[in-house]
A and B are shown apart, each in its own frame.
Chain A
Amino acid sequence: MGRKLLLEKAHVEGIRTYDVYRREGGYRSVEKALKTMSPDAIVEEVKKSGLRGRGGAGFPAGMKWSFIAKPEGVPRHLVCNADESEPGTFKDRYLMEFIPHLLIEGLIVSSFALGSNDTYIYIRGEYAWIVDILEQAITEAKNNGWLGKNILGSGFDCNIHVQRGAGAYICGEETALIESLEGKRGNPRIKPPFPAIKGLWGRPTVVNNVETLAAVVPIINEGGEEYAKIGVGKSTGTKLISACGNINKPGVYEIDMTISVEEFIYSDEYCGGIANGKRLKACIPGGSSVPILPANLLLKTAKGETRYMNYESLSDGGFATGSMMGSGGFIVFDEDQCVVKNTYTLARFYRHESCGQCSPCREGTGWMEKILWNIETGKGKSSDIDLLWDIQRRIEGNTICPLGDAAAWPVAAAIRHFRDEFEWHVANPQESQLRNFGLAHYADDIHVPATV
Chain B
Amino acid sequence: MKFNEQQMAEFNRLVARYPEGKQKSALLPVLHLAQDSFGGWLSSETMDYVAELLQIQPIEVYEVATFYSMYNLKPVGKYVFEVCQTGPCMISGSDDIIGYIKEKLGINVGETTTDGMFTLKTVECLGACGYAPMMQMGKFYREHLTKEKVDAIINECQKNAAINN
Q: Are the C-beta atoms of B27 and A245 separated by less than 8 Å?
A: no
State whether A89 touches B127 (Cβ < 8 A). Answer: yes
Interface string of B50-79 (1 = CB under 8 A from A): 000010100010011001111100000000
| A84-99 Cβ-contact flags toward B at 8 Å (1 or 0) | 1111111001000000
CA–CA, A329 and B86, complex, Å: 14
- A165 and B28 in contact (CB under 8 A), knowing A126-B136, A346-B87? yes
- A331 contacts B68, CB within 8 Å? no
Contact of B130 among A163, A167, A181, A251 (CB under 8 A): A251
B67 near A168 with CB under 8 A, answer yes
| B90 lies within 8 A of chain A by Cβ | yes
Contact A185 B67 (CB under 8 A): yes
Q: Mark A395-425, 1 if CB is under 8 A from B, else 0.
A: 0000000000000000000000000000000
A229 CA / B19 CA spacing, docked (Å): 42
Q: Is the CB of B67 within 8 A of A186?
A: yes
A333 close to B29 (CB less than 8 A): no
B124 interface hit (Cβ, 8 Å)? yes
Chain A residue numbers with a CB within 8 Å of B123 are: 167
Residues in chain B near residue A243, CB distance under 8 A: 130
CB <8 Å contact, A183 and B28: yes
Which residues of B, 132-147, contact A by the 8 Å Cβ criterion? 132, 136, 139-140
B68 & A90 in contact (Cβ 8 Å cutoff): no
A243 to B88 CA separation, bound complex (whole angstroms): 10
CB of B43 within 8 Å of the partner chain: no
Complex Cα distance, B86 from A245, in Å, reads 12
Q: Which residue of B lies closest to A251 (CB)?
A: B130
Residue contact A167 to B68, C-beta cutoff 8 Å: yes
What's the nearest-Cβ distance from chain A to residue B61, in Å? 9
B50 shortest CB reach to chain A, Å = 11
B68 engages A165 (CB within 8 Å): yes
Q: How large is the interface on A (under 10, 10 to 19, 20 to 34, 35 or more residues)?
A: 35 or more
A313 / chain B contacts, CB cutoff of 8 Å:
none
Bound Cα distance from A10 to B51, whole angstroms: 42
For B22, list chain A residues within 8 Å (CB).
182, 201
Contact: A166 with B87, CB < 8 Å? no
> Complex formed: what's the CA distance from A346 to B70 in Å?
20
Partner of B129, one of A89, A128, A183, A333: A89
In the complex, what distance in Å separates the CA atom of A387 from the CA atom of B120?
Answer: 34
Query: Residues of A contacting B63 with CB < 8 Å?
Result: 184-185
Chain A residues whose C-beta falls within 8 Å of the C-beta of B19 in the assembled complex: 75, 118, 201
Would A161 and B17 be within 8 Å (CB), given that A125-B70, A186-B67, A244-B129 are in contact?
Answer: yes
User: In B35-58, which residues have CB < 8 Å from any A CB?
Assistant: 54, 56
Convert B3-36 into 0s and 1s, putting 1 for each residue whose CB lies closer than 8 angstroms to a CB of A.
0000000000000010100101111110110000
Interface residues of A in 227-257 (CB under 8 A from B): 242-246, 250-252
- Measured between alpha carbons, how far is A245 from B56 in the docked complex, in Å? 45
| Residues of B with C-beta under 8 A to A345 | 85-87, 90
A residues near B150, Cβ cutoff 8 Å: none
Q: Which of A275-294 touch B at CB < 8 Å?
A: 284, 288
Q: Are A353 and B130 in contact (CB under 8 A)?
A: no
List, in ascending order, chain B residues with CB within 8 A of A329's CB.
129
Asked whether B69 lies within 8 Å of A168 as measured between CB atoms, the reply is: yes
- The contact of A166 among B31, B54, B126, B140, by CB within 8 Å, is B31
**Contact pick for A87, options B29, B56, B129, B136, CB 8 Å:** B129
- Contact check, B130 vs A250: say whether CB atoms are below 8 A apart: yes
For the complex formed, measure the closest distance between the CB of B32 and the CB atoms of chain A, giving whole angstroms.
6
Q: How far is the CA of A164 from the CA of B14 in the complex (A)?
A: 11
Quote the shortest CB–CB distance from A151 to chain B (angstroms).
Answer: 19
Interfacial chain B residues near A331, Cβ < 8 Å:
87-88, 91, 129
Residue of B nearest to A275 (CB): B92
Contacts of B154 in A (CB 8 A): none
Please report the C-alpha to C-alpha distance between residue A330 and residue B147 in the assembled complex, in whole angstroms. Answer: 26
Bound state CA distance, A374 and B70, in angstroms?
29
Task: Contact check, A245 vs B91: say whether CB atoms are below 8 A apart.
Answer: yes
Residues of A within 8 A of B28 (CB): 125, 163-166, 180, 183
Which residue of A120, A163, A169, A341 is within 8 Å of B90 (Cβ)? A341
B130→A242 contact, CB < 8 A: yes
Q: B109-127 toward A: CB 8 Å interface, digit per residue (1/0)?
A: 0000000000000011111
Q: Which of A117-151 contact B (CB under 8 A)?
A: 118, 120, 124-129
Contact A167 B70 (CB under 8 A): yes
- 13 pairs across A/B with beta carbons < 8 Å? A84-B127, A87-B129, A90-B127, A126-B126, A167-B70, A167-B123, A168-B69, A185-B64, A186-B68, A245-B92, A288-B87, A341-B90, A345-B86
18 other A-B residue contacts (CB within 8 Å) besides A164-B29, A245-B92, A331-B91:
A85-B127, A88-B88, A88-B125, A125-B68, A163-B25, A163-B28, A165-B68, A166-B69, A168-B67, A183-B54, A183-B64, A184-B27, A185-B63, A201-B19, A201-B25, A243-B130, A250-B130, A345-B87
